[in-house]
Structures are given as structure tokens and as C-alpha cells.
Amino acid sequence: MDSTGISFTALFTGQVWYESGISNRFFTSPKGRLLYKTLRPFDRLADSIIGITLHDMLIQRHQIMDHRIDGLIKTQGVSQILEIACGYSPRGYTLSRKYPDLKYVEADLPHMAERKRALLQANHGFGPDHQVVGCDVFEFGAPYGLDYVMEEVLDPDRPTILVTEGLVNYFHLDDISQVWQRLAQLGRVYPKAWYITDLVYNFGIHLIPGAVAAGSKMLSLATRANVNLHFNNRDEIQRGFLECGFTDVQIHRPEDFVNHLPIPMGKSKSVVRVVESQIHAP
């Protein structure tokens, strides 16, 4: 499956995180700034019409995921993280400095991995046990298969978190479910393992007014991928993840964290969910 069209959206997110003070300037770029400026009017319109902005959604998911990951490092002894589809996420940069014993592997499509690696190298951004590898979640075997990265690059003896952020809604449920099943299967080798992802649930995108729908259509055209909202409610999310082989599925809402984290909340209820599930060794 060719999903390279999605890669440029990482530039936008990188810019949003920087503008919000949660990332470094070296993760931004002129293209990212241009995208940010171009999409801002659509976001303002979305705010006034439906009370939800892409900007807030990107901050919400990132802050919750950071918070949960940090908690699992502190309370569960997690010492290894694989961040799949890392884009320009500053998480590896930040966590590998904060926790020098942490093994942090960032993975993305080969061309993105190359760019991220070059950025980190140029800015002395690599932590003590930190690397960026090429990986396509739909491929098998060396050099870019998910199985290859998990079996050959990760350490099977470490409690591990597998993360995807901003990835799953670009794929049909059948396709991403196959990736989830493989993560749940491959993750069983670690003494303890978790999978954390964000997703946007189906809030009735077909009901939103034309101008905002046009913004979402533009994104689909530019990425050559449709935005897929897989689940209609909590029960469906739970069932979907359990059926893929995960256990102890927890679904976090931004509203649950407003008193603990600097999370922007729009006028309407958030449509972002962070799903945290466990993978049990056999």
C-alpha cells in the first residue's frame, strides 16, 4: 500500500506543536510554516462553526499520550519505546534525554526516517540509546517490515511501549486492523507491553457544514488518503481492540485530563480519543 502522500501532514503537526511550545524549532520547516498559515483560516472557521479545531486536537492527543507514556515509564518500569510513524514528533528527543537508560526507536517510512535522522544529527538531538529506522507498517521482512524492526531492532527483554500517533485514521479499518493484530502478536515477546494510539471517532463528519467539509476534503486530496473514522462509540473501540488481540483497553478523553494537563478544550466536546491497551505474554 502506498501511503507516502500522508507524510507531509507531519510537517503541519510539527509546526502546531512548535507554535504551542511543546516542540523544538528544529522540527519545523518553511513548508510546515506555509501549511500552518494556509490551514489556519479553515481551523478558525471550524472553531466558529463546530467548536473543534485541528490545532486543539493535535495538542490534546500529544499531551495525553506523553502523560500516559511518562506514567508507564515511572510506574511500570518501561525501558523501551517504539514510536511508529514518528514524523517530526519531539518525543524521542525529549524522553531519551529525560531517561538516559531508555531505548528509544523512532520509525517512519524510509524517506521520512532519513529526514528525521538528518535533523536529529544536525541538531545533536540523539539521546544515548536513540535511533531512527525506516519502517512501513504494511511491509514484511527486512529492511522495513514491522516484524523485522520489532524482532531485530528492539530488545525482547525490556518492558515496551509501542506508539502510533496521527496514523490510524488514514487507513480503512480492515487494513489498520491487520497492523494492530500484528502489533498485538509481535508485542507478546516483551515481558510487559502496551500499545498506545490516538484516534478520532465518528462524530458525523458528513453532517458538518460545507466549508469545513471542504477543508477535510482538501486534506484527503492532498494526502491521497481518505480520513476514516472507524468507530462510533466507546464499546466499538473496546471491541475493535480486543478483537485484534489487545487486553485491558482503556479509552482516554481529553476532558478527563483538563485539571492535570495543559490541554486546550474547544467549545464542543472533543472527538479525540487515546487508546491504551496491554499486550499479554502467552
Return residues touching ligand SAM (CB under 6 A): 3, 6-7, 9-10, 13, 84-87, 89, 108-109, 112, 135-138, 165-167
Min. distance of Cβ 2 from ligand SAM in angstroms?
Answer: 9
Considering beta carbons, is residue 167 or 275 the nearer one to ligand SAM? 167
> Cα(222)–Cα(33) distance, rounded to whole angstroms?
17
CB of 13 to ligand SAM, least distance (A): 3
Alpha carbon of residue 31 to chain centroid: 21
Please calculate the CA angle 104-108-109 and round it to the nearest 5 degrees: 155
Nearest of 126, 266, 274 to residue 197 by alpha carbon: 274
CB of 61: closest distance to ligand SAM in angstroms? Answer: 7
Smallest separation (angstroms) from ligand SAM to the CB of 230: 16
- In sign, the C-alpha dihedral spanning 14, 17, 23, 25 is positive
Residue 167 or 274: the one with the smaller Cβ distance to ligand SAM is 167
Residue with Cβ nearer ligand SAM (50 or 149): 149
C-beta of 112 vs 184, nearer to ligand SAM: 112
| Residue placing its CB nearer to ligand SAM in the complex, 7 or 220 | 7
User: Which residues on adjacent β-strands are paired with residue 275?
Assistant: 197, 251
Q: How far is the CB of 68 from ligand SAM (least distance, A)?
A: 15
The span from the CA of 102 to the CA of 79, in Å, is 5
Output the 3-class SS for 191-203.
CCEEEEEEEECCC
